[in-house]
Structure 1
Amino acid sequence: MPYDELERLGLDAATEAAVRKSFPRNTGMLVVTEVLPGSTSESVLQPGDILVRLNGRYVTQFEPLEDVLDGSVGKQVEVELERGGKAVSAKLPVGDLHAITPSAYAEFGDAVVNAMSYQQARHFNVPTRGVYVANPGYVFGAAGIPRGAVIMTINGSRTDTLQDFETGIALLADGERAPVRYITIDDPNNSELRAVRMDRLWFPARHCDRDDASGLWDCKHLAAGAQPKPVPVSSTAFPHFKEPLLNALAPSIAMVTFDMPYSVSGITERNYHGTGLIVDAQRGLVVVDRNTVPVAVGDVTVTFAGTVQVPGRVLYIHPQHNFAVVAYDPALIGTTPVKSARLTPRELFAGEPLWVVGLGGDSQMHARRTEIASIDPLELPLSRTMRFRDSNVETAQLVNPPLEFDGVLADKAGNVLGTWSSFAYESGRELSQDTRGVPIDLVADMLERVRNERPLHSLEAELGVLSLATAREIGLPQRWAQRLAQHAPTRRQALTVVRLVGGSAAAQRLQQGDLLLAIDGSVVTRFREVEKAAADKEHVQVTVWRGQSELTLEVATAELPGADVDRLVEWAGATLQAPHRAMSVQRGIAPVGVYVGYFSYGSPATRYGLYPGRRIVEVDGVATPDLDTFLKTVTGRPDRSSVRLKTITWNNAPEVITLKLDKHYWPAYELTHTMEGGWVRRALE
C-alpha cells in the first residue's frame, strides 16, 4: 500500500522514515487486508494493520515475507505491527498450507465432495472447516443443495472434515433420509436445512486420495452402509373442505415426486413433481402424466394429504401417450382413507361445464370451475433431443384454464372425466410445457391392461387430420368422402399418414400422405378409433387412398412394452442405452446401434466428442447393432487403450472418433431392471 495511504492509516512518521531509508526504491509497505475466521491469527491481527518487522527485520514486499514463512512452517514468527499509530507485537505459529489443501475427495450418489480448502474459506470468509460440494450430483441436486455449498452438519453431527462426513453417511442405508445443514457463498452468515435421500443403488461410492508419486488419485470403495430399515407405517386424514367436490376427490389425489439419476431417452431434467390420480387403492396404483414421471429410471415418492410420504416405483410407462402408472404399498399408509377415483369414460364436448381439481406445488388442493372451449388434435413440434412427444390424441382446451396446477377434469358429483395433464415439448432449444385435458378413456384402457397384463399393439403410424374438402383436392373420390361424412357427421374429416415408425412393418407397407380410410373394413376418422382397432391384434387390414387408387394392405402391428428403459450402461463416462421408441417415432430411425443418452463432464466421452443423441454402430470396424454386441466388443481392453467408434446422428450423418479409455476414474458398470420392478447395479469389469 502506498505511503500516503499508510499515513492515513496512522503510520508513525519515524517508522516511515526508517523504512524509506532501508528501502529507498520502495513506495509502500504491506498491510493486513483480511484475517481468516477461526485461524490462530484471528485474535491478534486485524484488517488495516501495517506490517513493520518480521523476526526483527523490516519486510515490505511479498517475496521476503514468503521466504520467511516458508522457512518457518511448524514454528513461530515474531510479528511487529502498527495499528492506528500504536505498536503491536505478537508471536504467531506458521501453519502448513498443504495441510489445509484438499488431498482427498469422496463421491457418492453422483456427488463429489472434499474438505473445505483455504482458498474457498477465504472466499466465504469462514473458518477452514466443513465439506465443500464440488458437484451436487444426484443426491444433493434432488435436495436442492447447490454446487459450491459447504456442508456443516449431517444428521445433526458436525462435518468439520471429510472423515466426519464419510462417518456420517456410513450410518445411512440406501433410501434413508437425513437432514443436512449447509451454507452458500451468497449467504455465508445464514445456514439452510434440507433433507437428503441417501443413494447406494444408482452410483458407486468411493473415497480417493491424491498420490503425488504416481500422479493419480487412489480410490477405494466406501463402506456399504447399514441395511435399509423397514418403512414405518403412517396414517393421516384428509382435511374437510367447504366445497363438496373437493371432499369427494381429495382421497383419490396424491402428490407424486420423481427424481432421475441419469439423463436418458433425450430427457435431461432430473427432478419432477405433479398430481397423481389414485385409480386402484387396493393395489396402490396411481396415474400421472409423463411430465411427472417421464421414464422408468428413477426414485418415486407418493405423498398423501401433504403429510404421509411413502416410496413408490414405476410400474408402467405408456409407450404412446402422456401417462405413467406408479405403485406404492397400501400397507404403508395405514388407515389413511384413500379411495379409487370413479372413472367415467365418455366423449367430451365443447361447451361442457366441468371442474379442474388438482394439487399445486405447495401440495394444497385447488379447484376451478370452467368449461371446455374446444376439442382439438394435439400438435407438438418435433423434439431436437428426441425426447417423448405425444401424438394421435385429441385434447380439450378450457376457458380460463388453470396453469398453476395439474390434476383431473371432473363433474360436480366427483366423477373423473379426464386428466388435466402437463405436456413437455421442445420449442427450438427451449423446453416448454402446455396443459391440456385428456379424456379418461385412455387411462381406463391403460389401467385394464396393467391389471390383466394385456399387451398393447400399435399400427406405428403418426396421423394427421384433413378436412374432407382438402382430402378431395388430393384425390379422395366422392364415394369415400360420403362414407367418411356419414361415419362422423359433425366431424367431416379424414386421417392422413404423417410419419411412420422406423423399423416397423407399417414403414414397409404404408406411405406418408396415404389417406387412412378403414381398418378391418370399419371406417375410421379419429385417432382413438385407429388405436382401438389395432390394440389387440397382431395384424390388421388397412384400407388407404394412395394417389388415384384404393389399396387394402395387411400390416403387422407392433407389441409395445410398458417399460421404456430396462437397461443402462455407463462406459467411458457415457450413459448408453438401446435406441428408445421416440427416436424411431419422430425421425423414422430403425432402432439399431447403441444410443448415447448423456455424458459426464470431464470424462473420456466428453473429451473425445461422444455426444448425446448419437448412436454407436461400429467399434474398430465391428458392427454393434445392440448393447450386448457392443459390450462384448469393448470389454477386456486394457486401461488407456484407444478404440475407434463409428457414430451416426438422427439424420444418418456418420462420424468416426477415437476415444482413449480411462478405467481408473471412469469404470464401466450397468444397471438392469429386475422382474420385481427394482434396479440392480453391477460392475462390468
Structure 2
Amino acid sequence: YLSGERRLAQGDAVYIVAVSGDQSPVVRHTRVASRSMVSTRECLPPRFRCMNVEGIKLNDHPACQGGVLCDDAGLVTGLWTSVASQDSSHKDTTTMTGFDVCLLSQTVTALCGSDHCPDVRSLDAELWTIRLAAARALGLSPARIRQIEDACGENPRLFYVLGILSTETQASKLLHTGDIILEKNGHLATDINDLGAIHDDKLVRLVVLRDGQETALDVPTTPLPSLETTRVIHWSGALVQLPYRAVQEQVRSMPSSVYVSCTLYGSPANCYGLRPGMWITEVEGRSVATVDQFVAMLEHMRLDRSFDSQEQSASNIQTARYVRLTVVNKALVSRVISLRVDNHYWPPWELIHDAATPCGWKSIQHI
C-alpha cells in the first residue's frame, strides 16, 4: 500500500483505529463505500484547502479526531483524517475522509534517509475529473479513448484544469482553464496522485487536449516551501504579511504586497474597520506597495513629531492620533478608513524567521 501498487477499493473490509474526542481509542470494522475526488470551497479569509486528491468514504465510522485504516493483520492501508472547509455561509465545516498511504511514500522515504524534507512541487492548477464521453464531445480521438479504456479498465477517466491557482508562476502562463491532461512525461495521466503533487521534477512534459487538438507543453513546476510565511508585522492589532498561496488562488491581481491576514479582537484595527483579507495600499496618502515600504512608513511615523504638535514626548506621538489608510478588498474595491493608533497597548513589532536563533524566529520592536 505504501508503494501504491495496492489501494483500497469499494467494498474492501477495513478496521478504523482512531482516537475519540476524549482521547480514548476507538476500533471499528467497516467497509469502503466509495472513492471520489475531495471537494472544498474557497474560504474567507483565505486559507489552505484540500484539493487534487482522491478521498475514501466508509460505510460506517465512529465520531473521532482521526487515525488509520488497517487490515486484519494490522497493516496500515490508509489514513483517516479530517478535511476542513466552509459552507456557502462561510461557516467552518469538517468532514472525515480517508487517504491512500502512498501519498506519503516519497516523503517518508526521504525522511528515513536524511533530516531534510523532499522537494514538493505543483502545477499551480486545480484539477477535476472528466468522463471519456464528455472528453470525446470536446474532440478526444477514438484511438486515444481506446488507449485509456485499456489502461484504466472499469473506471476510465481523465482530469481537466478546473482553475489556475496563481497567475504569477510560469505554469499558469502555459496551462489554461479547461485543458484536459492526457499524458505526463510520456505516460497516461489517469491517476490524480501523479498530478496533484510532483516530487523533484522541475519540468514536466504534458500532453493536453485544447480546442479539440492535442498539444504538448513543457511546464515548469512551482516549488512548495515547507514554511511559506517567514515575516509577520504587527501593527495596531493587525497582522501584515506577503500574500500567501491561498490568497493568490482567490485574487488574480494583487493590489499590493501589504496583506492583512488577521486582526485581533478589541484592537484598533478590529474596531476601526481593518479586516482580514484586505490590502493596505496607502498610509497617510503615501503609497506602500511592499512590506518593506510599510515598515519604513511605521518608522517614519515614529520619528516624525510633526504628526501631533501637542505631544512633547516622542514615545507618545502616535498614542492618541489617527492614521488614514487606503485599503482594497479582494473584489478590488477601495475605501479610506481612519484608525486610531494605540502604541501603549498595541505596540508595533515584527517577527522574522531566523534559523540561527534558538526558537527559529527573531523579534524586532518598532517603538
Does residue 1:636 correspond to 2:307, yes or no? no
Give, as a single letter, the amino acid of the residue that structure 1 aligns with 2:150.
Q
- Partner-residue secondary structure (3-state), 1:601: coil
Where do 1:169-568 residues align within 5 Å? 345=4, 346-427=6-87, 428-450=89-111, 451-502=115-166, 503-531=168-196, 534-568=198-232
CA 1:521–1:626: 2 relative to 1, 3 Å: farther
Q: Shift of the alpha carbon at 1:591?
A: 9.6
| Partners of 1:551 and 1:584 in 2: CA distance | 27
1:552–1:383 Cα change, 3 Å:
same
* Counterpart position of 2:310: none
How far the C-alpha of 1:669 sits from its partner, in A, is 0.9
Q: 1:358 to 1:575 in 2, by over 3 A?
A: same
The DSSP-based 3-state class of the residue aligned with 2:72 is coil
Using the TM superposition, give the Cα deviation of residue 496 of structure 1 relative to its aligned residue in structure 2, in angstroms.
Answer: 0.6
Instruction: Percent identity, please.
Output: 31
Aligned to 1:209: none
Structure 2 CA distance for partners of 1:485 and 1:499, relative to 1, 3 Å: same
1:310 alignment counterpart? none
Structure 1 residue identity aligned to 2:219: V
Looking at structure 1, the residues matched to 140 and 224 of structure 2 have their Cα atoms a distance apart, in angstroms, of 32
Report the alpha carbon displacement of residue 416 of structure 1 after superposing the two structures with TM: 1.5
1:665 maps onto 2:325 in alignment: no
1:453 and 1:389, CA in 2 relative to 1: closer, same or farther beyond 3 A? closer
In structure 2, C-alpha distance between the alignment counterparts of 1:627 and 1:391, rounded to whole Å = 30
Cα contact 1:344–1:415 (8 A) shared by 2: no
TM-superposed CA distance for 1:645, in Å, is: 2.9
Aligned to 1:337: none
Q: CA deviation at 1:592?
A: 5.0
- Counterpart in 2 of 1:114? none
Q: 1:386-423: CA deviations, max 9, x gaps?
A: 22210000011001122234111112222212111011
- CA distance, structure 1, for counterparts of residue 70 and residue 251 of structure 2: 37
Q: Distance in 2 between matches of 1:577 and 1:353?
A: 47
- How has the CA–CA distance of structure 1 residues 590 and 361 changed in structure 2, closer, same or farther, with 3 Å as cutoff? same
Distance 1:354 1:344 in 2: 19
- How far apart are residue 440 of structure 1 and its match? 0.9
TM-score by length of 2: 0.85
Equivalent AA in structure 2 for residue 522 of structure 1: H
Letter of the 1:420 counterpart: W
Other structure's SS at 2:214 match: strand
Q: Is the 2:122–2:223 Cα contact (8 Å) retained in structure 1?
A: yes
Preserved CA contact (<8 Å) 2:18 2:64: no
Q: Whose radius of gyration is greater, 1 or 2? A: 1
Q: Unaligned regions of 5+ residues in structure 1, if any?
A: 1-341
CA contact (8 A) 1:425 1:431 kept: yes
Partners of 1:591 and 1:440 in 2: CA distance: 40
8 Å contact from structure 2 (residues 47, 247) kept in 1: yes
Conserved? CA contact 1:584–1:591, under 8 Å? no
Q: Is the 8 A contact 1:578 1:591 kept in 2?
A: no
Instruction: Provide the C-alpha distance between the structure 1 equivalents of 2:148 and 2:64, rounded to a whole number of angstroms.
Output: 40
**C-alpha distance in 2, partners of 1:600/1:576?**
12
In 1, Cα distance between equivalents of 2:359 and 2:152: 43
Q: CA deviation at 1:513?
A: 0.8
Are the counterparts in 2 of residues 580 and 591 from structure 1 also a CA contact under 8 Å? no
Secondary structure at the counterpart of residue 584 of structure 1? helix
Q: Secondary structure at the match of 1:636?
A: helix
- By how many angstroms is 1:500 displaced? 0.8
Q: Residue 415 of structure 1 aligns to which amino acid in structure 2?
A: L
RMSD: 2.4
Instruction: Please tell me whether the aligned partners of residues 500 and 588 of structure 1 are also in contact (alpha carbons under 8 angstroms).
Output: no
What is the rounded CA distance, in whole Å, between the counterparts of 2:75 and 2:253 in structure 1? 42
CA contact (8 A) 2:259 2:278 kept: yes
Per the alignment, in what secondary structure is the counterpart of residue 585 of structure 1? helix
Shift in CA distance, 397/539, structure 1 to aligned 2, threshold 3 Å: same
- Deviation of 1:365 (Å): 1.1
Mapped contact 1:344–1:417 kept (Cα < 8 A): no
CA distance in 2, matches of 1:677, 1:446: 25
Structure 2: any 5+ residue segments left out of the alignment? Answer: 303-317
Offset at residue 437 of structure 1 (A): 0.5
Residues 439 and 512 (structure 1), Cα distance of their counterparts in 2 relative to 1, 3 Å cut: same
Deviation at 1:621, TM superposition (A): 5.2
Q: TM-score, normalised by structure 1?
A: 0.47
Kept after mapping to 1: 8 A contact 2:120/2:199? yes
Could you tell me which amino acid in structure 2 is paired with residue 632 of structure 1? A
